[in-house]
Structure 1
Amino acid sequence: MRHSSVALAYDDLAERWLDERFSHTDGVQQHTRALKFLAEGISGWALNVGCGCNTRFNPILRERGLEIEGVDISERMVALAKAADPTVTVHHADVCAWQPPRRYRFISAWDSIWHVPLAEQRSLMLKLMSALEMGGVFIFSAGGLDGPQEHVDSAMGPSVYYSTLGIPDLLDVIKDAGCVCRHFELDQYPQRHLYIIVQRFA
């Protein structure tokens, strides 16, 4: 089962996100951009999907008055995340089955949704965007391909599953969720790493 294989792979890889092999600024600039779309002076909750054990986004989320909640499928990642920042509520769960307990001003799914089986990605994205408050912002990364694709990669050691809906279907699901795309960027071109900032308006 792909869900369990991803969990086991990231159990093995968890410590890598805490040492010099991992950039501790990865995604911070993109999240700073996304947070600018939130109205000023309103507190609320932020959800980090596939939060991992690195807490680099937490300071900039707190600067915007956001309380932080995380969810991750890797038991080891969750344990390390709780040790690194005990004030954050972190759920050890498969986000596809997990039900958000509240609505959020901000949701991040940075380099995590692409590990979800292709057949489940659309329903997961609809669930996450429906958990946004009105005016809430969702940032996520994906494979910036022209159509759906899935593959297994062992570049980090363990075999890890990846998939993407592809750019046309990603934009369709954003529209179907009652959200609008605020920013769209292939930020590591020519690599096909895509990130999108979405805001709920309906």
Structure 2
Amino acid sequence: MPLDRTGQAEAFDAIGDRYDEAFPHKEGQVAAAAWLGETLSEKARVLDLGCGTGLPTALQLAEAGCEVVGVDLSDRMVTVARENVPTGTFHRADIADLRPAGPLDLGRFDAVTAFFSLLMLPRAEIPLALRTIHHVLVPGGLLALSMVEADVDDFSIPFIGSTIRVSGYLREELREIVEAAGFRVVEESSYSYAPATADVPPEVQIFLRCRRNP
């Protein structure tokens, strides 16, 4: 499948630190990362997919004693994440780079976070991305995932002064896709969220806490 990331990385390069200003409160994300920190053993390896600026997730997990590795498509986001979380390791890469026999082998992880990163993909790629996450997790490993509830596919929207393309699912379909990729959903929660910027509309955020099937 040919990958089309046209404009996606460039948009987040332009957004930079303004992302955290536009999304200042991340209760669902903080709660999901806290669940990982409480569940995982000390020194557990955690992969933060779409790490952004490293805040709050990578920093939160690093402070919980985890070995944090972050991946993001945006050079600017990776640079900021390295500044915000000096104990973490961050790579400018696409999730496709982590596939079996892909160009970036980071080893196996005890947990993966994917907070609003898979929504940057067309729907056709999301099942494969979930299988890639399944591949990099150890058996029984944990996945903390969030998406915006929306019935859209590769849909262009204005976003903090730039334009990005996003995909989404209604919650039952999201659960079905995650379970089909080899995960068991152990908890689901949702939040109504109003970003602190006029060009991003209010949204419903779905958080799934999952465990990789053996």
- Could you tell me the TM-score, scaled by structure 1's length? 0.84
- Give yes or no for contact 2:62–2:88 (8 Å, CA) kept in 1: no
Whichever residue aligns with residue 65 of structure 1, its letter is G
Note if contact 2:19-2:160 (Cα within 8 Å) is conserved in structure 1.
Answer: no
Could you tell me which amino acid in structure 2 is paired with residue 69 of structure 1?
A: V
Looking at structure 2, the residues matched to 45 and 10 of structure 1 have their Cα atoms a distance apart, in angstroms, of: 26
Instruction: Show the 5 A alignment for 1:179-190.
Output: 179-188=183-192
Taking only aligned residues, the RMSD between alpha carbons, in angstroms, comes to: 2.4
CA distance in structure 1 between the aligned counterparts of 2:142 and 2:62, rounded to whole angstroms: 15
Q: Which residue of 2 aligns with 1:4?
A: 6
Q: Which residue of 2 aligns with 1:196?
A: 208
Q: Which amino acid counterpart does residue 125 of structure 1 have in structure 2?
A: L
1:154 to 1:104, Cα distance in 2 relative to 1, 3 A: same
Shift of 1:177: 3.1
Alignment partners' CA distance in 2, 1:168 and 1:150: 19
Instruction: State the distance in 1 between where 2:162 and 2:8 align.
Output: 9
Code of the residue aligned with 1:188 in structure 2: it is: S
| Partner residue, 2:197 | none
Q: Distance in 2 between matches of 1:4 and 1:155?
A: 15
What's the secondary structure of 1:195's corresponding residue?
strand
- Counterparts of 1:97 and 1:200 in 2: how far apart (Å)? 20
The match for 1:108 is 113
Deviation, 1:52, is: 0.8
Structure 2 unmatched runs, 5+: 100-104, 194-201
SS at match of 1:78: helix
Deviation at 1:191, TM superposition (A): 3.2
Q: Indicate if the aligned counterparts of 2:98 and 2:132 stay in contact, CA closer than 8 A.
A: no
**Is 1:117–2:119 an aligned residue pair?**
no
Task: From the superposition, tell whether residues 68 and 101 of structure 1 become closer, same or farther in structure 2 (CA, over 3 Å).
Answer: same
Residues 76-122 of structure 1 show CA distances to partners (whole Å, capped at 9, x for unaligned) of 11111112223211110111233442111111111111011221111
The aligned counterpart of 2:147 is 142
Cα offset, 1:141, TM superposition:
1.0
Helix, strand or coil: the match of 1:160?
strand
Runs of 4+ in 1 over 4 A off after TM superposition: none
Deviation of 1:4 (Å): 3.1
- For structure 1, list consecutive stretches of 5 or more residues without a partner in the other structure: none
Equivalent in the alignment of 1:171: 175
Conserved 8 A contact 1:149-1:166: no
Q: Partners of 1:80 and 1:62 in 2: how far apart?
A: 16
Partner residue in 1 for 2:95: 95
- In the alignment, residue 15 of structure 1 is paired with which amino acid? D
Q: 1:124 to 1:21 in 2, by over 3 A?
A: closer
Equivalence for 1:151: 155
TM-score, structure 2 as length reference = 0.80
Contact 2:122 2:153 in 1 (8 A): no
Alpha-carbon distance in 2 for matches of 1:76, 1:44: 27
Q: Are the aligned partners of 1:34 and 1:197 in contact in 2 as well (CA < 8 Å)?
A: no
For residues 11 and 83 of structure 1, the distance between their equivalents in structure 2, rounded to whole angstroms, comes to 15
Corresponding residue pairs, total? 198
User: Aligned to 1:170, what secondary structure does the other structure show?
Assistant: helix
